[in-house]
Amino acid sequence: MQELYPSFLCRFSDPPGGRTLQGSSFADTVHMTQESCTTFCDAGHWVFAGVEFGQECYCGNVTLNGGTNVTFSDCNMPCVGNPAETCGGPSRLDFFWNGKQPPPPPTTLQSFGQWESLGCYSDDVNARTLSVPMGVSGPMTVQLCLDACFTAGYHLGGVEFAVECYCDVSFKNGGAPVTDGRCNMICAGNSTEFCGGPSGLNMYNFTGTITNPPNPNPNPPGGGGGTGSAPAPVTNLPGTFKSAGCFVDNAFGRVLTTQLPDNNALTVESCVNSCAASNFTIAGLEFSVQCFCGNEIVNGGVLAINQNDCNMLCGGNSSEACGAGNRLSVYSSTQDLILLPVPVVQKTNLPGNWQYIGCLAEPGAVRVFPYQLIFHTTNSAETCLSQCSAFGYPAAGMEFGEECWCGDPQNIIDNGGTMAPETDCVIPCSGDLIHLCGGAQRLQLYEWVGTPLSVWHTPAVTGWYEFLIGGLTVPLIATLGINNKVTFLEKFGTGPPNSTGAYELDLSLTHNSNLAWREMHIKSDVFCSGSVILPDKAGRVLNVGGWSLDSTFGVRLYTPTGSPGVNGTTDWEENNQELRLQTLKNNSRYPGSMVMANGSVLVVGGEGGSNGIPIPTLETLPTPAGGSTTVFLDFLLRTDPNNLYPFLMVLPSGGVFIIYYNEARILNENTFATVKTFPIIPGAVTGGGGGRTYPLEGTSVILPQHAPYTDQIEVLICGGSTPGAGLALDNCVSIQPEAANPTWTLERMPFKRVMTCMTALPDGTYMIMNGANQGVAGFGLANSPELTALLYDPSLPVGQRISILNTTIVARLYHSESILLQDGRVLVSGSDPNPDGGPFLEEYRVEVYVPPYLASGQIQPTFQITVTDWSYGQQVTITNVVTHQNAGTRISLLAAVSSTHGNSFGQRTLFPAFTCGGTSCTITAPPNAHIAPPGWYQLFVLDGSTPSFSKWVRIGGDPAGLGNWPQFPDFTHPGV
């Protein structure tokens, strides 16, 4: 950006005809940049410059029509000539000032010599008030126009649209004075004067005596006037360009879509060369100095009845014709000129169940609909409506030709949209020039009819939040151990000064906070680490990574002991000199972790400490004989920093499914080479992307697997946000990664949500809770907490799977977690959004959510089990099975989970085969480690949807021998 024009704000700009900057202007659909605009304005001695819609440049010395400052994020459209720069937005200007004092604001020139102002008069392009267009030498001013009219023998003169001059001896076609402010455009050649406006003439009357008779063709020196008959068309043009004739312009709008800057030295050759250089096939010249380009004649453009109408001489060559007032001298490189009719509203052949409603007036700077897309060259009813419905929005509209807006019918009521005359929606679609796409501040409105795109249930029984206990910690990791106690880890060193960094909560003692909490200890800062439950005999919790320095190499282990009501005696074990992540290049903050099918632990990605360099690698633990197992992953380097805490899953057919930022792929489970990649994950409807992993943080789960496990596995992701603006996403997406040609299925949520937590429930449903409506994960980076819980039921049809449950009074933002408890309730903890103070404080309260299946006084089933260590395919009998509702018995297995930053490490839900007789049921364990990776699972018996208390079982043993690892005397070895 050149020093001459420093950017200082994003400013609201009224629609065409009410522009904030009304000096010189031009549009360039290929090469527009901030620099090209400011250079153009500086050459015209303007002090302000503004770029809009990615391709339009406006200049001025004063701001008009109520232009006001708006937020910088509104100016978000990339320049077509340099996508690294922004060039405003719809009705938004990236605004620049050269530091010079602007001249006084423009006024209506009241007199000039013996010419006197008559005020502003109405005009019509099809029936002119003054019938004689007049060329002038140089940029338009009132004085130049009136001099030309006087020389030609006319005592009436008027200026219009900043650059046009008209003369006559009497008023024609009912032209009359108007007071609606339409004469508000600054003269192209004098920023202190108004030169009419759209359909408005600044009118002047000569009060003296004119002796010479009227002459419509005075032919002033230097070109720019007309002749009795038009000069012959120019030949010998570049390529195959030839004259296509004289066309009527602006009867229903411009007939060529791209206008270049006015050029007082314009020639046919220069206009054709400029259009050809931008790959246009048609060039048109008008009013001596104007050049237009396009690939079709649009808006019902037709040949003029009198081909001599194009009789104004080119500003740069008085032997050539450059159109006239509303007449275009057209040249084309193709013999088959495409003439498109006047565009109309598309009411038939619409996608899906869309129906046209009418022309809707926007309320002003506040838009009716919240979501905007810009399609510079492809907007149409098909394009816009298909995009909106694909993201679940049942109301949509097109505006300004290239804008598409999505939302809900309720937005129209809430934001003050009103119906407008159909004649207000007159701009053709940028990608469908025979159909209309709204107007200036006018939406071509459509609504979805018939079967709703989204159905959000509001059940009578929703369950509820309830306070459980006051906390000693603001946890960032929550884990239910196989001792049915909850271990919490928090910041240590960077947290509260009296914290030991680790605590265990005995759920049976929550009535007595003095007894419920057990203090434990860690040696390094686990902030932004990750945990999994190991498949060894003790169900140890493994924690890896950390905040900074040595803690980022941390490998920590905790062996759950004790039982409800009985304190455990073990603590966290860590020795950085003996056991650590493998290389200096693989220390990790925000790592993903997973127990693999072979029983070893996979650790993937992260950063090298606090806001450090990317760690685009993976490794396995234990480190095998022979050294490092680190593998470089180029896709993590490419997508840093939006791929942290990647989602990891073992696939039934083998391989590791990894989700990071807005991408996904399958890795070979032995070599970790890429086996399969997937389409980009849909995010925001606006097309601005959107990510699902930290810091854009959504949550992913594997949907239930049912015996005999032949159905395709399905993965669900809910929530997330967009880079930069932090626009939280309001959708979930799902995919079957092992399908032949998998695609993402999108379902809209009733609320936007980032920093989601999802908890698998024993009945096969999923709680969605916590998070915010705006922002990203991090300290002070989100606001507007989402307090309402949702329930996702994959057994229902797509688009109808979400129910709206109850609300909490506790904001749960950054570092909030949720986990399933033994009794089927969901524990909700944490929130650490502003450790240094702010509107949302560190949250110590611990809550539980009572799901609907426990909310009506249901008596929970009971059962007994003796065999808790299962081999794959083994048949195990449970006894004393008692149900109370006779609602149908089911059995589920939910893998042990550790929750942090929205990532439920280890989550998996299975419904195994079983048979029951009397009070006994025989369960067939899952068949292999790819269906159920080795580890600990909560076993539930369900009576309809009401679960029993769970009992822990281990499936698949400890194939990697983790129970004997690490081989150091200061670590516990529970055995395999």
Across the range 800-817, mean pLDDT stands at: 96
Residue 380 pLDDT: 97
* 739 alpha-carbon distance from chain centroid: 28
Buried-state track 373-398, b at ≥16 Cβ within 10 A, e below 16: bbbeeebbbbbbbbbbbbbbbbbbbb
Across the range 434-439, mean pLDDT stands at: 95
20-35, pLDDT tens digit by residue? 887 777 777 778 899 9
pLDDT at 553 over 70: yes
Report strand pairing: 729-735 vs 745-753: antiparallel
Across the range 735-746, mean pLDDT stands at: 97
Cα 152 from Cα 277, distance rounded (Å): 38
Residue 218 pLDDT: 57
Across the range 643-657, mean pLDDT stands at: 97
**Secondary structure of the chain: what % helix, strand, coil (to 5)?**
10, 35, 55
Across the range 958-966, mean pLDDT stands at: 97
- HSE-CB of 563 using CA atoms within 13 angstroms: 2
Token pair for residue 714? Answer: 């399905």
Residue 583 pLDDT: 57
Residue 17 pLDDT: 43
158-170, pLDDT tens digit by residue? 999 888 899 999 9
Confidence of residue 431 (pLDDT cuts 50, 70, 90): very high
Confidence of residue 219 (pLDDT cuts 50, 70, 90): very low
pLDDT at 225 over 50: no
More confident residue, 356 or 102: 356
pLDDT at 768 over 60: yes
Residue 472 φ/ψ region, left for φ over 0, alpha for ψ in the -120 to 50 degree band, beta for the rest: alpha
pLDDT at 716 over 90: yes
Across the range 624-628, mean pLDDT stands at: 75
Confidence of residue 688 (pLDDT cuts 50, 70, 90): low
Residue 958 pLDDT: 98
Which residues partner with 501 through β-bridges? 521
Determine the 3-state secondary structure of 25 from DSSP. strand
Across the range 879-893, mean pLDDT stands at: 95
Work out the number of other CB atoms within 10 angstroms of the CB of residue 799: 17
Q: 901 and 812 in contact (C-beta within 8 Å)?
A: no
Confidence of residue 41 (pLDDT cuts 50, 70, 90): confident
Report strand pairing: 517-521 vs 501-505: antiparallel
Backbone angles phi and psi of 157, in degrees to 5: -140, 150
Q: 175 and 121 in contact (C-beta within 8 Å)?
A: yes
Preceding peptide of 104 cis, ω within 30°: no
Residue % of the chain over a pLDDT of 70:
95
Average predicted confidence (pLDDT) for the chain: 91
255-293, pLDDT tens digit by residue? 998 889 888 889 999 999 999 999 999 999 998 889 999
Q: 290 and 274 in contact (C-beta within 8 Å)?
A: no
Residue % of the chain over a pLDDT of 90:
70
Rg (CA), the chain: 36
- HSE-CB of 256 using CA atoms within 13 angstroms: 29
559-569, pLDDT tens digit by residue? 999 999 999 99
44-48, 389-393, 902-906: range with highest mean pLDDT: 389-393
pLDDT at 386 over 90: yes
Cα 950 from Cα 868, distance rounded (Å): 12
pLDDT at 922 over 80: yes
Across the range 822-847, mean pLDDT stands at: 90
Cα 110 from Cα 106, distance rounded (Å): 12
Across the range 741-770, mean pLDDT stands at: 97
pLDDT at 767 over 70: yes
Confidence of residue 787 (pLDDT cuts 50, 70, 90): very high
Residue 222 pLDDT: 27
pLDDT at 625 over 60: yes
Residue 11 pLDDT: 63
- HSE-CB of 756 using CA atoms within 13 angstroms: 33
Determine the 3-state secondary structure of 389 from DSSP. helix
pLDDT at 966 over 50: yes
DSSP string of 653-682, one letter each residue? TSSEEEEETTEEEEE-TTT--EEEE-PPPP
198-207, 243-252, 574-583, 594-603: range with highest mean pLDDT: 594-603
Token pair for residue 293? Answer: 């380009």
Token pair for residue 611? Answer: 């806001």
Confidence of residue 589 (pLDDT cuts 50, 70, 90): confident
Residue 584 pLDDT: 45
46-64, pLDDT tens digit by residue? 899 999 888 888 888 888 7
pLDDT at 660 over 60: yes
